[in-house]
A and B are shown apart, each in its own frame.
Chain A
Amino acid sequence: GDQVKQSPSALSLQEGTNSALRCNFSIATTTVQWFLQNPRGSLMNLFYLVPGTKENGRLKSTFNSKESYSTLHIRDAQLEDSGTYFCAAHSGGSNYKLTFGKGTLLTVTP
């Protein structure tokens, strides 16, 4: 099965509304990164998390290592928030790779 499971796979929001994306991890995870991939394919870093919570503008993200999940909350969604959101798990130790989920495609409509 998927080592990093993202939900939902797709989401449509009206401008100004709020929502949450989630990642569940079935591998040991020490840090989490969240990215937004734009239609041209560029991956933009949103958050880098150790266990805990970070906030940046309208975005807020939490990583709970004990329960093996992370969430990304989007408040007051804007058109420019549209794209594919990926979470990625870093297992630490001698393994430096990021294990990605399959992404959540977010469409924000007027």
Chain B
Amino acid sequence: EAGVTQSPRYAVLQEGQAVSFWCDPISGHDTLYWYQQPRDQGPQLLVYFRDEAVIDNSQLPSDRFSAVRPKGTNSTLKIQSAKQGDTATYLCASSFWDNYAEQFFGPGTRLTVL
């Protein structure tokens, strides 16, 4: 069974540019999460979905970050006007909708903003 897939694996931008990250969760998983992992820290949740609905986006910097999951499968995380402080690895995870469910992570996208 395929795991969580993400693309691209790496991205390098100048400040002010936009970037999109794409995630394909494990087949059958209805819950999808986006985490941000700054260098030398643990991942921190940005937003998560059940099917196509946003359940919690309270940690998403809404002025520049947006996330969608229109058909309840794949998801896109977009950063408008990137800043140097956005430099981090962006990880996608998926699970079943269960408040005790094990989460499985993709390989991440390593973003560098110059």
Instruction: Say if A and B assemble together.
Output: yes
Number of A-B contacts (CB under 8 A): 61
Give how many A residues have a beta carbon under 8 Å from the other chain's beta carbons: 26
Residue contact A103 to B42, C-beta cutoff 8 Å = yes
Contacts of B99 in A (CB 8 A): 30, 90, 92-96
Main secondary structure of the interface of A (DSSP, over half): strand
Nearest-neighbour CB distance to chain B for A91, whole angstroms, equals 9
List 14 contacting pairs A-B, 8 Å CB cutoff, sorted by A: A30-B100, A33-B102, A33-B103, A42-B105, A42-B106, A43-B43, A45-B102, A88-B42, A92-B99, A96-B31, A96-B33, A96-B55, A100-B42, A102-B41
Residues of chain A whose beta carbon lies under 8 Å from any beta carbon of chain B: 4, 30-31, 33, 35, 40-43, 45, 48, 50, 86, 88, 90, 92-98, 100-103
Judged by a CB distance under 8 angstroms, whether B44 is at the interface is: yes
Given known pairs A31-B100, A48-B102, the reply for A42 and B31 (CB within 8 Å) is no
Size bracket of the B interface: 20 to 34
User: Which residue of chain A is the closest to B105 with respect to CB atoms?
Assistant: A43
- B50 to nearest A CB, angstroms? 9
Question: How many angstroms from the CA of A96 to the CA of B31 in the assembled complex?
Answer: 10
